[in-house]
Amino acid sequence: MRPAAREEEVICPSCRRYVGTFERCPYCGARVPKRLAFRMLKWGGLAVAVFGILFLYVDLHSANLVVKVPPTIELGEIEPTMNMAQVYLRGKATFVKYYEDTGFLGMFVSDDAGNSIFIRAYDGETRRLLEMEKQRLAEGSPEPKFPAVGDIVTIRGQLRVRPEFRMMILQYAEGLKIERPQAGKATIEQMVSNPENFGEYQRLEIGWEENQRVKVISRRDYDWATMLTLYEMSSEAETTLLIPKTLTHFGRTLGAKIGDTILARGAFQLRYGEAQLWLASWDDLEVIG
């Protein structure tokens, strides 16, 4: 079979080997002349491909001229026919974990009807979220970038739907929007004595009033979190403050030590009948004495 192009364009003039579209022989390094039209076609095609990829990337993230904005659906509306679909979901984060061994963010998001879905972020995007939160804390911005238990999250991602299993892939960091509700005032005595008065994962603030100060009386460190036992001096009631290990990636360390008086905000949870709070950010813990 004879080559379709001119022989002098596909055969090395030095070693007489077939080089195809190469402009320099891969065997002996000799230059293989090509027509201008051929070179324009080659580099023009590459330029069009690169421009097309950049256009789709920009369009996906902002303009949405070709890639249309995905629909917003409720958790209860997810069906098997939606597998691989791009959608927006909104709900409350009820479990958040940064998996140290694999480097990805995983969380469960639930709605008021009891529906839930597991969200997984790509490893590279998880690292971006960590860096964005670190920068946010350094700049003093009030808008969280990394999710925590109790946050209201809106997620744009791709669904994976199987029988008895539903998951969404967060494909890029900008697809996650976080609303951190204001914390309501409470005392440890109220949390312990009447936990039914508080919603699960409701954000609460303790130690806010001078006559209801809270003191750290013990500390326990685990692979996944640090647990501080908090003692309310006025009522002698106690509760636990959980500090996820993920917070150590945000450029700060735990400043509170045993004996310190603190102000803390966190998401309320009953675990085995015991009231506890999940710390969302270093912003939610202040040492006041």
Q: The domain spanning residue 251 has which CATH number? A: 2.40.50.140
- Residue 216 token pair: 């750290």
Do 137 and 89 lie in a common domain? yes
Overall number of domains in the chain:
3
The per-residue pLDDT for 120 is 96
Q: Show which of 145, 179, 213 is a domain's final residue.
A: 179
Are 189 and 282 part of one and the same domain?
yes
| pLDDT in the model for residue 282 | 92
Shared domain for 222 and 246, answered yes or no, is yes
pLDDT at residue 67, as a whole number: 58
Does residue 2 lie in a domain region?
no
- Co-location of 135 and 54 in the same domain: no
Q: What is the token pair recorded at 163?
A: 């029988």
Q: Which of 42, 63, 84 is the last residue of a domain?
A: 63
Domain that includes residue 124, residue range = 75-179
Task: Tell me whether residue 17 is in a domain.
Answer: yes
Verify that 170 and 189 share a domain, yes or no.
no
Q: Dihedral sign, CA of 35, 39, 45, 47? A: negative
pLDDT of the residue at 284: 94
pLDDT at 95: 93
Confidence (pLDDT) at 68: 66
pLDDT lower than 50: segments of the chain: 1-3
What is the SS3 assignment for 262? strand
Can you give the pLDDT at residue 1?
43
Q: What is the pLDDT of residues 154-190, one digit of tens each?
A: 999 999 998 888 999 999 899 999 999 999 999 999 9
Given 25, 40, 63, the domain boundary residue is 63
pTM of the predicted model as reported, rounded to 2 decimal places: 0.75
Residue 176 gets which letter from DSSP?
E
Instruction: Classify residue 204: in a domain, yes or no.
Output: yes
Is the distance from CB of 57 to CB of 172 less than 8 angstroms? no
Q: Which residue type occupies 253? A: T
Say if strands 274-278 and 285-287 run parallel, antiparallel, or are unpaired: unpaired
Residue whose entry in the numeric block shows the structure tokens 């998996």: 99
Given CA atoms 16, 17, 21, 25 in this order, what sign does their dihedral have? negative
